[in-house]
Amino acid sequence: MASKTANPSTVPFADAPINASLTGEQKIDLLRTMVRIRRFEQTSLKYYHDGHIGGFLHLYIGQESVAVGSISLLGEHDHVITAYRDHGHALSVGMGMDECMAELFGKKTGCSKGKGGSMHYFAPDKNYWGGHGIVGGQTPLGAGLAFALKYKGLKGCCLCYLGDGAINQGAFHEALNLASLWDLPVVYIIENNGYSMGTSQARSSAFPKEGLAARAEGYNMAWAKIEGVSLYEIRAGVQEAVARAHNESKPTMLEIMTYRHKGHSVADANAEKYRTKEEIQRYMNEHDPIEFWKNVLIGEGVITEDDYKAINKEAGAEAEASAAFAIKSPYPDESEIFDDIYWEVDNHTEAGRTGRHFFHG
Ligand SMILES: Cc1ncc(C[n+]2csc(CCOP(=O)(O)OP(=O)(O)O)c2C)c(N)n1
Ligand SMILES: [Mg+2]
């Protein structure tokens, strides 16, 4: 895995065309997005402990490079769907901190009107389809989004993220079969943080020595394993898969190696029971994607340490402001509890009126 200190002349994948074409400003934007995700989540954790947020809160701290690097490659007809650890993907597609923080607080101004919470961020206008709490549940939906793109003749793809624990779900294997059989433009990105709740990968999954994504061979599907600390490496690897989807309408399975610094969720008080303090500390000290990218940019002369401090401060202020926004926002009205479950019902369509959502004629 890449180390924290980076020498610009030796940073792997810096000269891949997709990276060589980045301007300094674009590189800073990538840094800013990762820092904003981290400050947003650190702030949410503080307000969780203060009792402002209830329910689940799965933090993405340590994994920011995966969402930021991969989503930075997307265009107009590309779509994103993920699991419950979804804050990083949401901010990467351009959702605002206010709507995201308010959703955590259960407020009406949240992206899901305060009724979805941490696991159910949505922004269809940004091609962002959630936010799913059922492990692996998003994987057939990802195939469906890709199918729709192909059906409509659009040159696009769906990035469908899942955890290393989700790869054992039956639905995922059904989705892989159809994605390959029907040549769907979907990219499955396994965010391999080594654990499913408190269970290590070694205790939960059978896989070839090349890695989890090598299972794709059983489906005649292309695959690759990517180290997830460096944005350069992620962008170079994911770009190949996106190009395969766009140009050949073929699926890919990627495994990106990463690590979560915090517990599975805030309720996971035993975060240090199933892994050692030393392991956590080692990843935080030596494999932190933000530290790595910051050092790349300093090494390249794109930013100074002071620039980084300013970006960090600004992101912290933005996150605090979003919490203030959430606090002063109203809760949804009790009368709205059954709204926003079925689009057809809310929009008084014939299907909604008759209950025939899934049938024509
Ligand atoms: C179908 C189903 N089974 C079990 C759970 C409980 N559960 C929630 S998260 C999780 C672990 C998933 O781990 P992984 O896929 O590696 O994702 P990570 O949390 O590491 O991002 C489990 C078992 C669930 N939500 N859905
Ligand atoms: Mg995991």
Examine residue 358 and state whether it is found in any structural domain, yes or no. no
Tell whether ligand 1 has an atom less than 6 A from the beta carbon of residue 196. yes
Selection from 92, 123, 247 nearest residue 185 by Cα: 247
Half-sphere exposure of 49 (CA within 13 A, CB side): 7
Output the CA 122–ligand 1 centroid distance in Å: 19
In-domain check, residue 356: no
Summarize pLDDT for 133-151 with one digit per residue, the tens: 999 999 999 999 999 999 9
pLDDT at 344: 81
Q: Which two tokens stand for residue 63?
A: 């994994």
Question: Is residue 338, in this structure, part of any structural domain at all?
Answer: no
In this structure, what CATH number is given to the domain that contains residue 282?
A: 3.40.50.970
Average pLDDT for 35-59: 97
- Is position 293 within any domain? yes
- Is residue 182 one of the residues assigned to a domain? yes
Residue with the larger pLDDT of the pair 271 and 221: 221
Token pair, residue 106, equals 């259960």
**Start-to-end CA span in the chain (Å):** 56
Is the CB of 316 within 6 Å of ligand 1? no
Structural domains counted in the chain: 1
Is the entire prediction scored with pTM above 0.75?
Answer: yes
pLDDT for residue 146: 98
Ligand 1 pocket: which of 41, 135, 139, 264 to mutate (most atoms within 8 A of CB): 135
Instruction: Please state the atom number of ligand 1 nearest to the C-alpha of residue 136.
Output: 1
Q: Which two tokens stand for residue 102?
A: 């308010």
Token pair 């995922």: residue: 172
Q: Which domain holds residue 199?
A: 8-330
Q: 138 lies in a domain?
A: yes
pLDDT in tens, 178-206: 999 999 999 999 999 999 999 999 999 99
Residue whose CA is closest, atom 6 of ligand 1?
Answer: 135
State phi, psi for 318 to the nearest 5 degrees.
-65, -40
Neighbour count for residue 94 (Cβ, 10 Å)? 12
The answer to whether residue 133 is domain-embedded is yes
Does residue 335 lie within any of the structural domains? no
Task: Give residue for tokens 């980045």.
Answer: 22
Distance 288 CA to ligand 2 centre (A): 17
DSSP state of 123: B
Q: For ligand 1, atom 4, which residue shows the shortest CA distance?
A: 135
Which atom belonging to ligand 1 lies closest to the Cα atom of 58?
19
Instruction: Quick: pLDDT tens for 276-290.
Output: 999 999 999 999 999
- The pLDDT tens digits of the residues spanning 310-339 come to 999 999 999 999 999 999 999 999 999 889
Q: Sorting pLDDT into bands at 50, 70 and 90, what band is 242?
A: very high
pLDDT score of 352:
78
